[in-house]
Amino acid sequence: MDKSHDEHDDEHARLRGLIGAGRYVVAAVVTAITVAVIARAVVVSLRSEKLYIKVTNGTVLVLGFLPNNKVMMSVALDSSNPSGRVGISYGGVTVSLLQHNRSLITSFVIKDGITGITVGPEASWLSNTVATQDVPADVSQEFVDGMRNRTLVTDAAVHLHGTLRTQVSGLNYTRGHTTEFRCYPVTIGFWAALPAPAGDVSCKEVS
Ligand SMILES: *[C@@H]1O[C@H](CO)[C@@H](O)[C@H](O)[C@H]1NC(C)=O
Ligand SMILES: *[C@@H]1O[C@H](CO)[C@@H](O)[C@H](O)[C@H]1NC(C)=O
Ligand SMILES: *[C@@H]1O[C@H](CO)[C@@H](O)[C@H](O)[C@H]1NC(C)=O
Ligand SMILES: *[C@@H]1O[C@H](CO)[C@@H](O)[C@H](O)[C@H]1NC(C)=O
């Protein structure tokens, strides 16, 4: 046996091995990428077509007191739609503010265009509603006096009541169904009296 021939053969074998391994690596990478792409598609399609709503800063603000017994309040909602496929709209939304003991403080309507809160796929929508409430028709004198007094209403809840619709195609949405959310615990107070925000408060679907 010729030693150099042996080495030559060895080199060829090693080279073939390397090429084989290289092919294997390429195939493995392609497979991994394919699996990842399919997995992501499955994850996106399995994501529930749900709307996630949070009350920004967990607070409802009393912005000020107007002449003629009116009080201005505001609430900011951050709505997100993790679904990769469809848009969601939440329209005709009434916001109700409730004491910890569930007695109603006041309620008002969110006026966000004609379709309400509308969130595209994998998007979010910030709505800031400012309501002017009449005292005492819409909200009690006692509550307003408390707000003037820098009293905070803690452990309050924001209830949302509206119609949730999912997009069928283009501008078409399903007829939808009445959906309620409860966001708790929320603090209500005169804007200058509120402590530093402790974070957003998530709303739970309750119907
Ligand atoms: C939330 O809190 C931050 C920090 O204090 C403030 O800058 C922001 O205006 C607040 N947003 C709302 C909607 O209250
Ligand atoms: C709930 O609490 C508020 C404030 O503490 C009070 O004014 C109201 O009467 C209570 N309502 C009920 C039904 O207990
Ligand atoms: C305002 O605050 C004072 C002192 O804390 C209290 O005595 C009074 O009852 C409060 N008034 C209202 C309307 O809450
Ligand atoms: C969308 O709505 C329009 C008007 O109501 C209708 O003509 C159209 O066929 C609908 N498209 C689909 C895909 O449902």
DSSP type of residue 67: T
Closest ligand to Cα 140: 2
- Determine which residue's CA is closest to atom 8 belonging to ligand 2: 103
**Cα–chain center distance at 38:** 26
pLDDT at 13: 73
Ligand 2: residues with CB < 6 A are 99, 101, 103
pLDDT at 7: 64
* Mean pLDDT to the nearest integer, 121-126: 93
Q: Best of 54, 55, 57, 74 to mutate for ligand 1, by most ligand atoms within 8 A of CB?
A: 57
Q: Based on C-alpha coordinates, what's the Rg of the chain?
A: 29
Q: Which atom of ligand 4 is nearest to the CA of 172?
A: 1
pLDDT > 70 fraction of the chain, expressed in percent and rounded: 90
Q: How far is the CA of 53 from the centre of ligand 1 (A)?
A: 16
| Residue-wise pLDDT tens digits, 49-59 | 799 999 999 99
CB 87 within 8 A of CB 164: no
* Distance from C-alpha of 22 to C-alpha of 195, rounded to nearest angstrom: 62
The helix (H) or strand (E) run that includes residue 88 is strand 88-98
pLDDT winner (highest mean) among 30-39, 98-107, 163-172: 98-107
Q: Best of 139, 142, 148, 149 to mutate for ligand 3, by most ligand atoms within 8 A of CB?
A: 149
User: What letter represents residue 17's amino acid?
Assistant: G
For residue 42, what pLDDT band results from cuts at 50, 70 and 90? low
DSSP type of residue 166: E
* Mean pLDDT to the nearest integer, 111-130: 89
Q: Is the pTM of this model over 0.95?
A: no
Is residue 34 over pLDDT 70?
A: yes
Closest ligand to Cα 141: 3
* Distance from C-alpha of 121 to C-alpha of 127, rounded to nearest angstrom: 17
Of 32 and 56, the one with more pLDDT: 56
Of 36 and 54, the one with more pLDDT: 54
| Residue-wise pLDDT tens digits, 147-168 | 999 999 999 999 999 999 998 8
Q: What is the average pLDDT value for the chain, to the nearest integer?
A: 88
Is residue 40 over pLDDT 70?
A: no
| Residue-wise pLDDT tens digits, 125-150 | 999 999 999 999 999 999 999 999 99
Q: Comparing C-alpha atoms, which of 191, 193, 180 is closest to residue 96? A: 180
Is residue 80 over pLDDT 90?
A: yes
* Mean pLDDT to the nearest integer, 30-53: 73
